[in-house]
Amino acid sequence: MTDPAPFPESPVVPAALEGDAPLQFHCRPGIACWNACCSNIDIALTPVDIVRLKQRLDLPSWQFLKDYTVPYEMEKDGIAGVKLRPVEGGTACRFMRPEGCSVYEDRPTACRYYPVALLSMRKQGEAFDRQSYAVVREDHCLGHREPRRQTIDAYRAEQGVVAYDEAGHGWRQLILKKKSSGPTIGKPSRRSLELFFMTCYDVDRFRSFVASDAFSGMFELPPEELHAALVDDVTLLQFGYRFLRQVLFGEMTIPLREAAVEQRRERVAEQRARVEREAAERLAREDDDGGGYVDV
Ligand code: SF4
Ligand code: SF4
């Protein structure tokens, strides 16, 4: 029996599964489809994936981004994501070797999860996200015909995704919050989008920013907290998510210096005045045009 698919071409089996659902799957060297999955890639990277890969390749984050990734839009006019760039003029992963993945210990979350997909959802107005899983069945992947069975949770543990999921949770929450907040947050400014990109993906550039006088002139972070963030990429990412929640959504958890508080007050007052001015001008224009009323 073939599994019903949500769309005719989609390999995703349409079911939101819990972690204790059974999974029959085994990928092993010697299987006839060896490397088929890595020959045609479409792999979105999480911030932790980038940290692990740039550390492995001993590259600063900006160099890794330039050489190994392509940006993409997660939603129209919204925040950006980053995908692994395939080989020049082809579709295969640059880390694929005849014997398998050359960065296996640091392979991205999506590669670890395959053929399971993580589904994170948040309903509008909810403060937490729900996690479930789907199974991807692609014709070329023969791992589904192998006899090995275990739960999805056991598979996640075996593939080492649990730590990756924990480290990426703050990032997924930011994305879900942005997507579910809709018009209350509105279209982010270009500056906010750049800040999101730097903080989540270009961690070494973000480190330079956090270490700068401009940052310490604005934020009052305890020295030990600042030090912990500056010496460890994953700790810095976690701090970055907190920083973005403050900048993008006004969740004030990083104390501002007095002068910065004053500046922020002035900026908010200016923004409010600008919005009111634009609304008044719009109304005046509508009045000039007849205001949309029909004389009877
Ligand atoms: S990173 Fe490794 S596992 Fe992932 S697509 Fe590339 S070669 Fe395959
Ligand atoms: S079994 Fe699936 S995941 Fe493993 S090598 Fe084959 S196509 Fe790739």
209 lines ligand 2 (CB under 6 A): no
140 lines ligand 2 (CB under 6 A): yes
Tell whether 43 is covered by a domain. Answer: yes
202 neighbors 60 (Cβ within 8 angstroms): no
Shortest CA distance to 109 belongs to which of 42, 173, 45? 45
Tell whether 118 is covered by a domain. Answer: yes
Could you give the CA distance from residue 22 to residue 20 in angstroms, rounded to a whole number?
A: 6
> Among 49, 103, 114, which is best to mutate for testing ligand 1, by the most ligand atoms less than 8 A from CB?
103
Q: What's residue 14's pLDDT?
A: 65
Tell whether 144 is covered by a domain. Answer: yes
112 lines ligand 1 (CB under 6 A): no
Tell whether 182 is covered by a domain. Answer: no
Q: What is the pTM of this model?
A: 0.84
Tell whether 178 is covered by a domain. Answer: no
Six token digits for residue 242: 């907190």
Closest approach atom of ligand 2 to CA 143: 1
230 neighbors 207 (Cβ within 8 angstroms): yes
Beta strand spans in the chain (E)? 22-24, 44-45, 69-73, 80-84, 96-97, 100-101, 116-121, 130-135, 149-151
Tell whether 285 is covered by a domain. Answer: no
Tell whether 260 is covered by a domain. Answer: no
53 lines ligand 1 (CB under 6 A): no
Closest approach atom of ligand 2 to CA 32: 6
How much distance in Å is there from the Cα of 96 to the middle of ligand 1? 6
Closest approach atom of ligand 1 to CA 107: 1
Per the structure, the count of domains in the chain is: 1
How much distance in Å is there from the Cα of 158 to the middle of ligand 2? 16
Q: Is the peptide bond before 188 cis (omega within 30 degrees of 0)?
A: no
175 lines ligand 1 (CB under 6 A): no
Phi, psi of 165 (to 5 degrees): -65, -40
101 lines ligand 2 (CB under 6 A): no
Phi, psi of 35 (to 5 degrees): 75, 0
Residue range(s) defining the domain that contains residue 112: 22-170
Residue 272 to residues 20, 165, 260, 268, Cα–Cα distance (Å): 50, 39, 18, 6
Tell whether 269 is covered by a domain. Answer: no
Question: Which one of the ligands is nearest to 40 CA?
Answer: 1
- Going by alpha carbons, the residue nearest to atom 4 of ligand 1 is 111
Per-residue pLDDT of the chain (296 residues; tens, 9 = 90+): 333 344 446 677 667 899 999 999 999 999 999 999 999 999 999 999 999 999 999 999 999 999 999 999 987 767 899 999 999 999 999 999 999 999 999 999 999 999 999 988 766 666 667 789 999 999 999 999 999 999 999 999 999 999 999 999 999 999 888 877 655 455 678 888 899 999 999 999 999 999 999 999 899 999 999 999 999 999 999 999 999 999 888 899 999 888 777 777 787 788 888 888 888 888 887 777 654 433 32
